[in-house]
Every structure is written in C-alpha cells, then in structure tokens.
Structure 1
Amino acid sequence: MGKLPAMQVSRQEEWQMPLYQEQYDRSPALTPAEREALAEVAILPPSCHRYDLVRKVLSAEALTRLLRPLQDAYDLKQCHPGGRIPYLRHMCLQMSQMNKSFWAWSKEEWLNGATSAHITYKKTGVAITMRVTAYLLCGLLIIEDRYFAAHLARLVFGTTEVAREYQKVATVIYGSDGLGYMRNRTRDNQLQATLVLAMLINRNPHIEVFTTECLQATQQLLTYYGYQQVFRWMIRALVYLKIVEETAFADLFGSVEEASAWWEYTKLDVDPTWLAWVQAYITQTVRGDEHYRKGEFHHLLLAGRWLKRYHPEIVEPAQWNEPIGYEYVTWVCQAKRTELVLESPRIPRDTSQAQVPLQAKTINDRIGSVRRFFLALQRRPYQVSGYTAQRLVLPWDPLEVLGTPENIKRQIGPNPRTLDPAWWQKLTWAAATLSAQDLSAYGGIMYPLAFYRAVALVWVTGARRADEIRRLKIGCVSREWAPEMRDEDGNQVEPEEHFAYLRIPVNKKRGEFWIPIPTYTADAIEMWEQLRPKLQGPQIDSKEHKPTEYLFMMRNQLMGKKFLNDSIIPLLCQISKLVDEDDVPLRDAVGKITSHRARSTLATWLRSNGLSLPYIAKLLGYTDLKSLPWYMREDKHRFAREVRKHNPLNRMVTAILDTEAIKRGAGKPAVFYYLGTGEDGRPTLCASPDYSTCVHQMQCRKCEMFVEAEQAEVIERRPGTLIIEVHIPTPPLVEENLNQEGVGEEITKCLPAPEVPTPAYHFNKNVPPRSSDADLQQMKQDLEALTAEWAEKAGKFDLRSVAMKSLKKRMAALAAKIEERESKLPVPVDSSLSTDQNS
C-alpha cells in the first residue's frame, strides 16, 4: 500500500486536509451532457474496462467536473495502480443509476455503493477508495461493514502521523510510569482503532486538539464492550496529558449516580413505622464502620419481620414489653438458619440449611443488636420520619430482658481457624518462588508479576488483615542498617543481619505501627514500588479520611477487597499442586481458606517456636493479650511436654549449701537435703551426694548419712550456708517399673544403700560404718548389674517367661547371700529404728 507524502506540520492547529471541497464544483444535479456521458459508461460491458475505449469514454470532457475530484482522491490513496479504471467506472455507474452526482449522495447510498463494489471488484480496492472519497470530499465517515477506522486514518493522515500520536497515548496507558495497563495484541488493536476513530471524527490527527464534542461523537460509535473499556483508558490518558479537563469523565460517562443507600429498604415484610425507627438509629448513630452498621441494620430488619409475622399490632419500639422481649429471645435461640432471612438474588438459598439451628455466635449477635437498639433509644432522642421523638422510657431493663442466655454464652469461645502446618509451608514456599510461568499457567492474570509476588509475601509473612494489606502506603518499608551499626560485643553488624519493618496503616484496633518482616518480603515490596505506575492520583482513605498514595494500585484503582481470597490464595494453591502431588485445596475441615486464617496460623506457629505472648500481640496489632486465644490454637504436644516437666512423682527439695565446705576441698559434705521435721518440729537432713537417685529415701534413719536434729541445727547455723531449691526426679529404676506388681518393692530390697564417700559423711551415730569386706562389695556390684538388666528387660519381655523368672531367682539368691554376709558382721545394723515418714 502506498503512503501519503510527508506533510510538514509545525503546529497541530496548522493541520490541513489533503483535499479541499471548495476547489471543486459541488453541484448535486447532473447536466444533460453529464447524463449522456454517464449513460455511455453504463452500457459498456464489465469485461471491457481494460481497453482504450473505456479510457476514452471516461476522459470525455463532459465528465471532467465529476471525475477530476475522484481521480485526486484516488491519487491520494495510491492503493492499487490498476484499480483506477474500475473505480471511475463504478462511480459513474452509481451516479447514472441514482441520477445525481456523488456530491449529493447520502451516507446510506455511499455504503450501498461501497458494498456492491466489494462484491464486484474484490481485489482492486474500489470499496476502500470510495470510503476515502466519501470522507475527504463529502465529509462522511463510513467505517461499517468489513472496514476498520485505522485503515482509513492511515490513508488520510499518513501512517507516520498516526503512529506518532498513538504512541503518545500508549506511553501513558501502558508505560511503567503511566497508568500501567497490561498490553496485549487485542487491547492494542482496540485502543488504536478507538484513537484513530476520534482522529477521523475530529478531522485532525493530533490529539492535542481533541474536544469533548469529538470524544462524545466517538463514544456513540463504540458498541462493543472491549472498545468502551479502552475508550475509558484513552480518556484517562488525555486527562493526565492535560488535553481534556477532569470533568470529561462526567461529560462522557455521566455523573456517577450514587447508588441507593443500603438502608433504603422497600419490601413490605417490615412495618414502615418500625423501619423508620431502625433507619433513624442506623443513620444518626455514629458507631462502628459501615460493615458493622450493615450487620446491625439487617438484624433489626429480621426483628421487624418477626413482629410482622407474630405480633403485627406492635409497630414501634415503645410498644415492646417484657414478655415480648423474652419471647423474641426464645425465638432467636430456637430459630433455624434460613428462617425469616431475606433471600439474596446473587446467592441462591441452600435448602439443606433450612432446618439447621443457628450457631451460638449468630444468636448472640442478633439478640445483641436489638438490645443495643433499645439502649440507644433510651439514651438520646432521634429524628424519626421528620419529627424529633422523645427518649424512650421503658418499664423494663433491656440488659436483663434482651440478654443472651448463659447457656448460649458458654458455647462462644475461641476457635482459631489455623491451617495445617504442612499446607501452610507449601503456601509460603509457593509465594516465595512465584514466577511468570506460574502466572501464565494460572490464567486470567491482570497485574504484573511483581504485584502478585509482593501481595502474596505480605500475606504469608505479615499476619495482616486483608484491609491492612490493600491499604498499605507507598514508602511503607523501612530498613535499619548502616556501616556504623554494632552488635552487643561492638562488632560491625553484617548487612545480611539488617532488619526490615513494615508500616501498618490505621486499623480498627489502633493507629499506625511498625512490624518486622523478612528481608525478602521487603525486597518484593520495594521492587513493586519501583514498577508501580506513577500516573495514579491519591485516593481518600476510608479510615484516615485523607488523600493517600496506596502501594497496591493499578490503573488508578485500589486492589479489590476480594483479591486475596479470589486470586492470590487460589493461585498459591495451584502452584503448590505443581510442586507436590498432594496439593493444597481451597477448603479444609474448618472451611474455606481465607485471608484472615493466615493470622491465626502465623500466631500459632510463632508461639510454638517460643515467641512470647506480648510480642505476638504486638505483631497482630493488639495492645493486650485478651484477643490472643481467638488466634492461637493450643499445641497439645507442647502442653503435654510442659506438664510432664512437673511430674507429681518428682519433688522440689529444700537443701543447705555449705559454701565453706566447698572451699575446704573434696571429701567434705557440702549439700544437705531436708528430709522433713519430726514431731518436735525440728529438721532432719541427708548428707548423701546420691540423694536424687537413692531408692531408699523412705528408710533414711537406717543410713549412715542421716543427720539428726541436733546436728542439723548446727549445720544450719554454719557461716556461709545458703538455702537452695533442688529438683529431685523420680529414680529411673523406680519409674520404669511402677506398673509392675511387686517389682518396685523387690528392686528396693535388692539394691544396696548408697555408698558413703568418706568418713566425713558418716553422721548417724546409731548406725556403725559399713564393713570393708571386698567379697561383700563385689556381691553388691553384681546385684546392681542384675537389677539393671532386669529393668532393661522388664519393658520388653513377659515377666512370666523362663528367662525373667531365672533372672529374678538369681537376684533373690544374691540378695540373700548379701543379707547373710552382713548379718555376720561384728556389729549388726539396728533394724529397730523407725522409718522417717516425713522425708
């Protein structure tokens, strides 16, 4: 296709159309000579258009007025060199049939002629040339029926000129410093067609001279949704380029009509008087955000439906009495899930839920809304239906009558919706390794990879609510590292040890605050902040009520409220399936995986890793610990381990530490354990260093290392003594054989008492020193070995087996020999001493 000659245009206002209508004779009527000449052309057979005869007829002087502008338009187009004769012949034929010059043709007649030319002359470009002619000479824009505006614009304005102007708009729309719309071939073609259509309507290719009237005419020709969408993009780009005013949106799309307020209820299932009181309460009470007020409104509407069905005579709050209040509470406690609930057209009602009772929390919320409604009416007057109503005076107490029953309250308790640790690990890994390939496999992606990666990492590492994530501001990341930073020992802190913090916006619990985040999350946020389209204006924050530059904005729109639940979480679940055959489903036994479940999962995980409760509360954004049970699920294994440390068979024993004995050196007793007090209230001690493992702790008075009360009081008064607490576990041999009948008693009888390290440990004057008989000591060691062997095998083998019975006989025989040998000692052990039951 040929191109227009380059046109030197210094300013946009100096643009001139390549052909002027004023330079031609535009008389609509045909002269007799013109009719005769056109008739000669019409009678020529179609097959003779290539011969000199046709050229001679078309060059007749009578047709000069009509054919000169047509040939100028053809020369401008320069499409098919061999299409001149078919084009002129077809135009003459149409004028002959309509008996008027082309200057008088209507738009429909031009379109019909172009359509017939497309059928008759398919490859000669006659139809295209007719559209150029209609636009340049008659000011008619014909782009219907198999023809695109971009083709016409390139022929009229030139390909270079159109491309340059298009690039100005595309840079704003698709550029990283612009609006940031994602570019693809379809939207690119739609945007180009929309822009050149505006050029053609404005009869000027330069976007700087676009007017609102030109854009309105363009909008009327856009019938498909895709073109309407890119038309909005184009208008937004023209606004940023300051070509049109910001009011162009209102002029083109109409002022955005405020949707009817959500408290405007028109159904007849609620009495109008009750509805008026409810609307006054909702609109005139400034309490809570919009979500909370909507919940209150719907609960009060439900109470109005209940009145309409069961007590239609009661239409306003003043008519309520104590029996009505009790009856309503009883009905709510017994109501089914769908009873008197308005069916939503967007959410079909599940018939299986019709007979399911309400949950305790729902019961509490419904009763609480009505209770708060009556308490508010008692506190202040409201404007109801145009008049000021007096404060409500009730002979009954709403706190008592409309109180939630205790059995319902007891059912409401913390139930953290944590995710399975293995599933959570997969989701975290999927967020950290998110790639462009993952996005292409997922499909339906509308934002850059950096956007998805930053949002996903903040969700899996930050323990934030969805609203807090979407309302993060530009510059929300802070890093703390500098070359002069030192640790506790004065050493320079390494760069990889630096800290990153995330500034959380104002939420429902507190103002702005900072939380620590992993550095890779901070890197992802900063990467997106660099790629974030710059031509996006601030928006009014819903909680701070001031202009805010949001982080997660694209195309001048804030990230949607359901983006996490509908896009990010399904994406991570699908990626986890690609990594592991056992994918993470969108639902588990608890319910759907939502954005809020990350908070309880992270809180539980941090607690299991030893993070303190105050720190977890700070991370979640709470100023106290009362809300933590609703987020942290108790780790039953951790709980069992903590309780096991406090075995009832273990003891905390008070002891005396003699620091002076430690200074005197080895061989001197330094630790004395309190055994208890006698009937006289005086203490007794044990000096055995093996006290914690001794199995004879109930027979201390027979031991050489038993310290009587007189000696114990002397030891207590020694200089340098300290009172300490010592944890004494149950002796292992005893604990291993607790549930074996008679075994514990036999082990206690068989095992000898702890050896006395040195004579300095011998305090009990009633018990002589033990013999130094080597054979006796060997037998005792053998008995200890057999006892250890018994303890090892007792949990593995049947006690009634031959081997265990044989081992038991050997132990008993050896114990008897030891007893017999000890009985032959010069001074027998005094067995008449009583057992110290208080030890």
Structure 2
Amino acid sequence: MTALSSAAVNLTAAAPAWTWPISPAKYDSSAALTGLELSALEELGWGLRQWPDRWQDPHQAQWRAIHRLVQPLAAREHLDVADNVFHRRSAVDAVALLLRGCATQRRSFWAWDASAWADVLGTSGKAYRRAYPGWADSSARSYAIAMAYLFGFADLQLLGNVGRTAVARKVFGQARVDEAIDQVTAVLHGWGQRSPQVTARTVGLVSHSMLLNRSPLLADLTPEVLQQLRTNTTIPYSLRQNFHSVHRALAALGLTSPPQPPTRLSPPPVEGVSEPWAQWVQRWCDTSTLPPRSRRGRRTQMLRIGRWLAAEHPEVQQPEQWTRELCAAWVAAVDRMRIGDYTQSDIAVHERIGEPLMPRTKSGLLAGARQLFRDCQEWGWIPRRFDPTRALATPRSIKALIGPDPRVIADDIWAKLLWAGLNIEHCDIYAQPVGRLHPIELLRALAMTWLFGGLRSDEIVRLRVGCIRWQRDDVRVPGTDNEVLAKDAVCLLDIPVHKTGTAFTKPVDPLLGQAIAAWESVRPTQPAAVDRKTGEHVQLLFSYRAQGIGGRYLNDRIIPALCAKAGVPTSDVRGNITSHRARSTIASQLYNAKEPMTLFELQAWLGHRSPAATQHYAKIAPITLAKAYSDAGYFARNVRTIEVLVDRDAVTSGAAAAGEPWQFYDLGHGYCTYTFFEQCQHRMACARCDFYTPKASSKGQLLEAKDNLQRMLANIPLTDDERAAVDDGQTALDQLLERLIDTPTPAGATPRELGIPATATLLPIIEVK
C-alpha cells in the first residue's frame, strides 16, 4: 500500500499544472447584444449549424455581425473533441445551440446566470429533447454543457442526471481524467471493491469532484471541496453514497487527510426531568471515564431517576438534596417498577408495557444511582451525607432472582449448526448470490470463529490479521513426565483487549485455524482501521472493501443462515439463538466433557478476570447431573429389596386364614414367616425366633419343592443403624447386634434369652429398571 501511494503521488506531482483555457480578457465579453447581432441571429436560425464554413468569410454580413460570439465558442483548443465525424458534428451543433440561446435570452452567454443556462441546456434530458430538433442529440448537449462549464456555469444539478464523466473528459481531456480515475479505482479494487456499481459511482464521483474543484489534478482537491461533496444534498445521492470510500482512497494516496469517522447521532432532548437534574447528569457524563456505551446506559438510568423525582419528589432537583430516607424510597420504587415507568420513549417495548421489570434491570437502576452518588462524593461535588453502597444496595429479594443463566443451546441443535458451518456456501447467506458478495472464505472463517472460538461478538469482529499461530512440533506438557501434546493438535488464537481484560491467547480447534488461514490467503490488502476499544491502527481480520464486519452481521446474517441450512429454528425455549449463546454452549460443553476443564482452566480459556464470572457459563449439564445422581445410589442406599415367597396353596385352601404361614422372607440362610417383617428390628440380625425356618430343615426343603409357589420382591426401608451396617461394615454390624441383644423378637423372647447366636442378614440390592 505504501508503494502504491508513493507511485500515485509521484505520478500526480509529475503531471503538468492545468490552467483555465478561457480568458475573458481576450474576447469582447459584453453582456448586451447589438441590434445587428440580434437581427443576424434571428435571420440565421438553425443555419447557425453552418458556422464552421461561414463565420470567417468576410463576404457574409450576418456572420460578421456575430463574429465576437462565435470566436470564443469556436476555439477548438478549449475542449477535448474526439477525433471522429460524429463527435466533431456534435461539437459544431453545441456551438449552434449556444448561439441560438443568445437569441432566445436576448443577451450574450457571457451574462447568463445559472437559470438562463438551465433554460438553454434543459432542466432534464426529456425537457432538452422537447425543446430542440432531433439532430440536437444527447452528445450535442454534453458538448454544450462542457462549453457552459468553461464559461462559468457550475450548477450541474440544475440539469438533471448529467453524465459528469463525459463533461469532465471534454473539459479537462480524457487522458487526464482517466489517469485520476485509475489512481482512485486501483486503490479501491485492491481493497476488494470491484463491483461494477461501485466502480461506476466512483468514476462519477471523481469526475464530479474535478468539476467542482475546477481542476483535473487530485492533488488540487481542497478540504472545502471534500466537505461540500459530503454535505451538499443537491448532489445526486448516487454520487454521494460512495464518498467515504473515495475519500479514504485519496487519503491512502497521500493526497488528503483521512476522513472523519462517522459521528454518532446526538441523543434526543431530555424530557420530563428538571433542568438542574439534567445539568448534573450531563456534568457527570462529561466527566466520567466509563466507555461510551456504558456511559450512555448510565445516563439513561440517571434520567429515569430524574423523572421519578419530578413525579414523586419535585422539591428534590439536585444530588446534594438526597437523604438516606429518599434512597430507601427509590429502592422501594425500583422494586415495584414496571416496564414503561419513567421512560422518555417506550417504542422499543410497547408490547410489554406494564410488565414487571426483570431483576437484572432493577439491579441496574440501583447500580446507576450508586454510580452517580459515589462519583459525585468522590469528586467533591456534593457532601458525603450517606454511603451509596449501603443506602442504595440491591435488596436480597432481588439478588436471589439473579443467577448464572448461560442459555446453552441443546446438543442436537448445536451439532446441526456445526455441520452447517462446515458446509456453508454463498447461496446459504445470500438469497440471490449476485452483486456485492463477501468472499466465501470470509463467511466460512466468520462462521467457524463463532462455532469454535467461544468469543464475544465484539472480540470476533476485532480480531487482527495473523491472530492464528500453529504448534508445529510435539511439546511436553509442563509438570508431567511423559505427557506430550501432539503437534497440530490445536492452534493458538490471539484475542485482542476485550471487555474484562487485556489481550490473551487461547487454544482452539485446528479447523478454525484452517478456515482463518484460507481467508487470509485471499484477503485483499486493506487500509488500517482504528480499533474502537484501544484507538490503535490495526489490520482487522474480517475487513473487506476497506470496511470491517459490523457487530450485527453475525446475528443478522450468519446465524440465521446457519439455522436455515441446519433446519433448526432461530430460537428455542431459552430465546433467540444469538452470537453470545455459542460462548455459553462451548463453555458448558468443555465443563461437562469426559475429561472436563476445571473452573480455573475454563476461566483462562474464556478470558475472565475471576472465577465468579466463569460460573455464569460453567453449568453442569442435566445428563451429567443425572449420571452423578445415579452413581450416588440414593435409592439403593436407603432401601433394600428382599425376595418373598408366597405359598398360593395355603392362601387358596384357607390355611392362611387359620394361622398357617403363607409368606416367607428369604434371608439367605433361612426364611422368616413374620407377617410384619418390615417392622421387625431383628430383620438384619436375625435372632432365630419361632418365626424363623432354616433352609436346611425339612420344612424349608419342603417349601422349596412346592409347585404353586410365587416369588415376589418387597422394598424394605433401612434404619440409620442398618444403613450404617451396610455402609461401614462389620464394626457397625457388631454394634447393631449388641444393641438388639435385649430387644424382644416377634415371638416374645430376646436374643439373650434364646441363647442362639444372631445371624447377620445383609439385605440384597436389586436394580430397579
């Protein structure tokens, strides 16, 4: 770009100076027409087209009469006339048109004002064709306009849609005009602005700037001319809409200073706020060092406080009048406030008017009040009558409703979006893939950065050229003996200064690095842009046609296109799929991976200042939580299932009603026939009372041999002592047996009285599906 600029400057400097070709002092420029001149013009009529052969003939009295009018118009050196019959004839007709205009205006062209020139040349092409014969075509009009320009007419906007380039080439010479146009278009083409529409508008704008500046040399352009091009609304919009690009190209050529950045519209006049309070708010805005966006947000909150004061406490108009009691009243008002209350404009939220404010909005309103009073006290503007941190603290009831809310995209939808990003094409972004398209390499790199980078949208659009660095060799992981990170396993992405910290580097998938490398290989040379956060002049990665990708491009173009290609909606139960939800999703997946990142590792990868911010993204996935709950075995720990044998013969024969045992709880070593087994305190440490039947006994063997025997499962909840015996083993079991030694069995006798060693029965765990 430097070489191009130097060459352009040298070329311009080497061009000979251009001087105005017509000097009125050389001619009789009297305004009034003599009677002979007027009579001759009337008599000749459209015979004026014969002037090349007649006007210097001394025997032609009529032509001698108008000699002073023809002489300046007939000087061929004034215009660059193409060397062919058609253009020579058009130039002759143009002279005849102006001579005929002298007759209709009844004064010489030296005295015509802008309106007179417009009457002669036509206020539009259609008006011109209505006024003149068919031979007076558009080419003749173009030559006539060029002559008019040389004689002082510059208000081309009065003539309708005039071909500025054709006029400039006739006035300044085709070679000079094309040389200047080529210098500017070469810069713009190098930046990627190659569409025919842009090139055509650039050619017209450069030509118009020459005519406006009355010189074909770009080096002669003055700041006043450039400012007129920027602000003059009488100039057709088709010319003005590419002015900023042309101005930047001129600056890149070293011919002018860079254009001023677009100015942000000033906020609307403040309404509903007392004048003293509005002045305090403006004073705070002029003094605060917060970023512009944060400052605008705080200003809105402070003006909302002012409207509340005007409605509820009109006597309070300045911060120094606030008391601890008034602070409490504001906190209570915020807690009960609804959407639309104390706002200047509710157009953006008209569908939600009357709904309660979200907890975060309430917290923000209170934070704005704290900011105002804290700063005013620290800057010495008001006395320190209360502590804003305590007097305007966010109530605990509001804080309780604010928590981590990463809004993770479901895994199945995210997988489809990844596929769409890997296979994106022009037709997916643009419904009609023609005209001013961004290169597909740029679109793919942008989509992959969103899908794999885990970045904020502001960080994505501010990435710089060369932000990807590759690891080309195997590297041993510090702090380990033999663990090695394979080469090309990841690549490193350099993130610029961001919302919460300084620049840092993070590892990303090689797919992202490959997409960015593909875009950098075809990216046209671009002018340096100002980083809006640091003020540095940098080479933005996602810059094309000398313009960086806007912050809304992801949400407005890329993400809807990916959703359409993936066949998923642009919103889900958590809201719209926006640029920031990818960051939440990636962080959550990294935190819930098979070998997950720790909270501190995830903090470093996201670029957060503290783990507290990372907790808003590190949310445990429901499947991971379900697996952990299942592994914890809550049900199995508190409940055991035991097999029950039901003697159907005893039930159907009526023996069970007569007291015959009919259900048998399988203890492993025997059966318990006690009907209320789940209430027996000795069920795990069986004392072998009268309800006990050993499996080795003849009665137990007879039971097992029965055909009509039904097997069932019964859930037995464990007591604390029994659960301790299960969890802690033999020691707890011995303690259980010791405590039950004097506890009566269902048969009435205690284990000590029975004199039979208790038998431990660890009730089995049976998986419930």
Per the normalisation by structure 2, the TM-score is 0.70
| 1:429 maps to 2:419 | yes
Looking at structure 2, the residues matched to 59 and 459 of structure 1 have their Cα atoms a distance apart, in angstroms, of: 85
In structure 2, the residue matched to 1:366 is 365
Q: Are the counterparts in 1 of residues 184 and 249 from structure 2 also a CA contact under 8 Å?
A: yes
| 1:241 maps to 2:233 | no
Q: Are the counterparts in 2 of residues 199 and 205 from structure 1 also a CA contact under 8 Å?
A: yes
In structure 2, the residue matched to 1:420 is 410
Superposed, 1:525-674 pairs within 5 Å as 525-532=516-523, 534-539=525-530, 541-542=532-533, 544=534, 546-554=536-544, 558-576=548-566, 580=567, 583-585=568-570, 587-610=571-594, 611-614=596-599, 615-622=601-608, 624-647=610-633
Counterpart residue identity of residue 45, structure 2:
A
Looking at structure 2, the residues matched to 200 and 465 of structure 1 have their Cα atoms a distance apart, in angstroms, of: 47
Counterpart residue identity of residue 312, structure 2:
Y
Q: Are the counterparts in 2 of residues 317 and 374 from structure 1 also a CA contact under 8 Å?
A: yes
Looking at structure 1, the residues matched to 43 and 21 of structure 2 have their Cα atoms a distance apart, in angstroms, of: 32
Cα 1:485–1:70 shift into 2, 3 Å: same
In structure 2, the residue matched to 1:814 is none
In structure 2, the residue matched to 1:516 is 507
Q: Are the counterparts in 1 of residues 465 and 539 from structure 2 also a CA contact under 8 Å?
A: yes
In structure 2, the residue matched to 1:392 is 384
Looking at structure 2, the residues matched to 57 and 736 of structure 1 have their Cα atoms a distance apart, in angstroms, of: 134
**Residue 187 of structure 1 is aligned with which of 195, 198, 215?**
198
**Residue 313 of structure 2 is aligned with which of 311, 314, 321?**
311
Structure 1 gaps, min length 5: 1-8, 384-388, 652-728, 752-779, 796-830
Counterpart residue identity of residue 255, structure 2:
I
**Residue 197 of structure 1 is aligned with which of 204, 208, 226?**
208
**Residue 267 of structure 1 is aligned with which of 266, 271, 274?**
271
Helix, strand or coil at the partner of 1:502: strand
**Residue 380 of structure 2 is aligned with which of 373, 379, 382?**
382
Cα 1:322–1:162 shift into 2, 3 Å: closer
Cα 1:554–1:313 shift into 2, 3 Å: same
Counterpart residue identity of residue 162, structure 1:
V
Per-residue deviation, residues 408-464 of structure 1 (Å, max 9, x unmatched): 333222222112223322333333323223233277967444333323221211111
Per-residue deviation, residues 505-532 of structure 1 (Å, max 9, x unmatched): 2334332221111222123323444555
In structure 1, the residue matched to 2:746 is none
Cα 1:18–1:494 shift into 2, 3 Å: farther
Looking at structure 1, the residues matched to 645 and 547 of structure 2 have their Cα atoms a distance apart, in angstroms, of: 70
Shift of residue 171, structure 1, vs aligned partner: 1.3
**Residue 472 of structure 1 is aligned with which of 463, 472, 485?**
463
Helix, strand or coil at the partner of 1:333: helix
Per-residue deviation, residues 767-804 of structure 1 (Å, max 9, x unmatched): xxxxxxxxxxxxx9xx99x99x999x999xxxxxxxxx
Looking at structure 1, the residues matched to 368 and 619 of structure 2 have their Cα atoms a distance apart, in angstroms, of: 29
Looking at structure 2, the residues matched to 280 and 439 of structure 1 have their Cα atoms a distance apart, in angstroms, of: 46
Counterpart residue identity of residue 184, structure 2:
V
Cα 1:748–1:627 shift into 2, 3 Å: farther
Cα 1:149–1:377 shift into 2, 3 Å: closer
Helix, strand or coil at the partner of 1:632: coil
Looking at structure 1, the residues matched to 80 and 376 of structure 2 have their Cα atoms a distance apart, in angstroms, of: 84
Per-residue deviation, residues 29-67 of structure 1 (Å, max 9, x unmatched): 5566555543432397x9xx99x9999999935415244
Cα 1:161–1:392 shift into 2, 3 Å: closer
In structure 2, the residue matched to 1:128 is 142
Helix, strand or coil at the partner of 2:576: coil
Q: Are the counterparts in 2 of residues 80 and 124 from structure 1 also a CA contact under 8 Å?
A: no
Per the normalisation by structure 1, the TM-score is 0.65
Superposed, 1:711-730 pairs within 5 Å as none
Looking at structure 2, the residues matched to 106 and 326 of structure 1 have their Cα atoms a distance apart, in angstroms, of: 72
Cα 1:449–1:527 shift into 2, 3 Å: same
Per-residue deviation, residues 642-699 of structure 1 (Å, max 9, x unmatched): 2222325768xxxxxxxxxxxxxxxxxxxxxxxxxxxxxxxxxxxxxxxxxxxxxxxx
Superposed, 1:91-102 pairs within 5 Å as 91-102=98-109
Shift of residue 392, structure 1, vs aligned partner: 1.6
Shift of residue 241, structure 1, vs aligned partner: 0.9
Looking at structure 1, the residues matched to 228 and 515 of structure 2 have their Cα atoms a distance apart, in angstroms, of: 44
Q: Are the counterparts in 2 of residues 416 and 629 from structure 1 also a CA contact under 8 Å?
A: no
Cα 1:293–1:242 shift into 2, 3 Å: closer
| 1:226 maps to 2:238 | yes
**Residue 340 of structure 1 is aligned with which of 325, 339, 342?**
342
Q: Are the counterparts in 1 of residues 497 and 503 from structure 2 also a CA contact under 8 Å?
A: yes
How many residues matched? 647
Per-residue deviation, residues 569-609 of structure 1 (Å, max 9, x unmatched): 23333433xxx3xx322x32222322222221112222332
Counterpart residue identity of residue 412, structure 2:
A
Shift of residue 500, structure 1, vs aligned partner: 0.7
Q: Are the counterparts in 2 of residues 20 and 137 from structure 1 also a CA contact under 8 Å?
A: no
Looking at structure 1, the residues matched to 281 and 553 of structure 2 have their Cα atoms a distance apart, in angstroms, of: 33
Cα 1:297–1:58 shift into 2, 3 Å: same
Counterpart residue identity of residue 361, structure 1:
R
Shift of residue 93, structure 1, vs aligned partner: 4.1
Larger Rg: 1
Q: Are the counterparts in 2 of residues 375 and 398 from structure 1 also a CA contact under 8 Å?
A: yes
In structure 1, the residue matched to 2:118 is 111
Looking at structure 1, the residues matched to 541 and 199 of structure 2 have their Cα atoms a distance apart, in angstroms, of: 27
Shift of residue 625, structure 1, vs aligned partner: 3.6
In structure 2, the residue matched to 1:459 is 450
Looking at structure 2, the residues matched to 229 and 212 of structure 1 have their Cα atoms a distance apart, in angstroms, of: 18
Q: Are the counterparts in 2 of residues 479 and 500 from structure 1 also a CA contact under 8 Å?
A: yes
Looking at structure 2, the residues matched to 624 and 86 of structure 1 have their Cα atoms a distance apart, in angstroms, of: 80
Cα 1:460–1:10 shift into 2, 3 Å: closer
Helix, strand or coil at the partner of 2:760: coil
Range that drifts further, 416-425 or 73-82: 73-82
Q: Are the counterparts in 2 of residues 202 and 210 from structure 1 also a CA contact under 8 Å?
A: yes
Helix, strand or coil at the partner of 1:634: coil
Name the Cα RMSD after superposition: 4.9
Helix, strand or coil at the partner of 1:193: helix
Q: Are the counterparts in 2 of residues 481 and 498 from structure 1 also a CA contact under 8 Å?
A: no
Helix, strand or coil at the partner of 2:572: coil
Helix, strand or coil at the partner of 1:515: strand
Q: Are the counterparts in 2 of residues 613 and 625 from structure 1 also a CA contact under 8 Å?
A: no
Looking at structure 2, the residues matched to 94 and 838 of structure 1 have their Cα atoms a distance apart, in angstroms, of: 120
Per-residue deviation, residues 62-113 of structure 1 (Å, max 9, x unmatched): 4152446555559935435666886666555444444444455444434323
Cα 1:445–1:453 shift into 2, 3 Å: farther
Shift of residue 502, structure 1, vs aligned partner: 0.8
Looking at structure 1, the residues matched to 134 and 645 of structure 2 have their Cα atoms a distance apart, in angstroms, of: 103
Looking at structure 1, the residues matched to 272 and 299 of structure 2 have their Cα atoms a distance apart, in angstroms, of: 16
In structure 2, the residue matched to 1:171 is 186
Shift of residue 170, structure 1, vs aligned partner: 0.6
Shift of residue 295, structure 1, vs aligned partner: 4.1
Cα 1:541–1:349 shift into 2, 3 Å: closer
Superposed, 1:693-772 pairs within 5 Å as 745-746=665-666, 748=668
Q: Are the counterparts in 2 of residues 434 and 453 from structure 1 also a CA contact under 8 Å?
A: yes
Helix, strand or coil at the partner of 2:625: helix
Helix, strand or coil at the partner of 2:612: coil
